[in-house]
Amino acid sequence: MAKLLISVDMEGVAGVASAASLKPSGWEYGAYRRWMTNELNAVAEAALEAGYDEVIAADGHGNSQNIDPDLLIDHVRLIRSWPRPLLQMEGIDDPDVDACAFVGYHAAAGTADSIFAHSFSGAALRSVRLNGVPASEGYFNAAVAGAYDKPILFVSGDQATIDDAQLYAAGATFAVTKESIGFRSQASLPPAQTCQRLKTAAAGAFARRTVKPFKLDPPFVVDLEMVSLTAADLLSYLPGIERISPLTVRAEFPTMDGAMRFISFVIMYQPDGQTPY
């Protein structure tokens, strides 16, 4: 059985523009969920028509319960809610998955003129570096996929997201869903028209499947610049964690699985066992 993993975020979805509505309490959150689900469906339809037997969709935004299961097309298996060790790449270890797509992605923390740019958690992290390179979620997630010899065939988001994707998915197919007008505003075509364009672009990507995996050499060094001095304090108490500046901690891992589990722990751990989302 051939499977495609689609990792789905919300910030890069066409029409998404309100920070308040990125959360369930937001006045337009219901619409954002629907737009996100429909963009996933558009890419999943292209994958199934290209010969994939099943799509695994990893909901990778906020509380990870954004994609509406009732709106999903057939043969899409949905991964939702936190915590989970591989975050937005949960499911990549399925031996039947042979490639990945990133839908609704955004640029890395600190990227100028890119809507909602951040890396994993804007509330916790100012920046993420992987082996010295500033890492977007796409860059980090592609390195996890590469550790399993699985390439990224398709990426959608704003133009800054696509520029970033050139670093980890050269030769993939890209689709610009929106124009960023700074950090908090955007311009885009209607969601339905965007979905049509996504399906067409994705169909071309899945017909070719010629992209090579993005592979980095171990060890994998993760530098996290924290928002909080107290967070950096506490992380430095853990064995193997080096504090390299007042706000920045460093950890080294032999595998990308270990590096991703570290990110998951840092942004999810709460002493009461509840997630922060």
**What is the tens place of the pLDDT at every residue in 70-80?**
999 999 999 99
- Domain of residue 237: give its range: 220-268
| Within-domain flag for 37 | yes
Residues 43 and 162 occupy one common structural domain = yes
How many residues in total does the chain contain?
Answer: 277
- Decide if pLDDT at 276 tops 90: no
* Residue 180 included in any domain: yes
Edge-to-edge strands of the sheet including 186-187? 76-79, 54-59, 3-8, 97-105, 152-158, 173-180, 186-187
Tell me, yes or no, whether 229 and 199 share the same domain. Answer: no
Q: Is the domain of 95 the same as that of 24?
A: yes
Confidence grade of residue 200 (pLDDT, cut at 50, 70, 90): very high
**Pick from 165, 186, 208: which residue ends a domain?**
208
Looking at the structure, tell me whether residues 138 and 261 fall in a common domain. Answer: no
Domains: count for the chain: 2
Q: Is residue 277 part of a domain?
A: no
pTM, two decimals, is 0.97
Tell me the mean pLDDT in the region 59-72: 98
User: Do 234 and 180 sit in the same domain of this protein?
Assistant: no
What is the pLDDT at residue 99?
Answer: 98
User: Do 15 and 104 sit in the same domain of this protein?
Assistant: yes
| Same domain assignment for residues 226 and 191 | no
Same domain, 143 and 241: no
Radius of gyration, alpha carbons of the chain: 18
Q: What is the mean pLDDT of the chain?
A: 97
CA distances from 223 to 102, 141, 161, 167, 248 (A): 24, 15, 21, 19, 7
Residue 273: inside a domain: no
Pair 117, 244 in one domain: no
The CATH number given to whatever domain includes residue 142 is 3.40.50.10780
Per the domain annotation, does 109 fall within a domain? yes
Instruction: State mean pLDDT over 213-240.
Output: 97
